[in-house]
Amino acid sequence: MSRSGADAERGSVAAEFALALPAVVLTLLLGAGALGAAAQLVSLQDAVADAARLLGRGESDATAHAAVTASIGGAAVSSEARGDFICVSARIDAQIGRLISVPLTASSCALSGGL
């Protein structure tokens, strides 16, 4: 006895779905992780710009560094004078899932001695 064409295809859609589902889920999770890392980078850049303006107005290094670490916990912050400018840089490692770590860096400069 031979099977008809419809009987031979029975269950193939479920099998293909079971094979494709893990790849789709992984892609969605990686995409969500990448968006989270991008949001962290925007927050880091904003915090570094605020810190540079604080230093430009004459605030202490501790105050400026605290402003960055208050926005982004665990950020490594450094500052330096470059001529008439004061520049602040910060670095964090963004985690995408448990296995992927992406280094994110941001820097900003402000005119020293500003109001």
Q: Which ranges constitute the DSSP H helices of the chain? A: 5-9, 12-56, 61-71
For the chain, what are the domain ranges?
8-111
Residue closest to 104 by CA, chosen among 39, 18, 23: 39
Give all strands of the β-sheet with 85-96 in edge-to-edge order. 76-82, 85-96, 100-111
> pLDDT (tens digit, 9 = 90+) per residue, 23-77?
999 899 889 989 999 999 999 999 999 999 999 999 999 999 999 999 998 999 9
CB-based contact 107:89 (threshold 8 Å): yes
> pLDDT (tens digit, 9 = 90+) per residue, 81-103?
999 999 999 999 998 878 889 99
How confident is the model at residue 78, as a pLDDT? 95
pTM of the shown model: 0.78
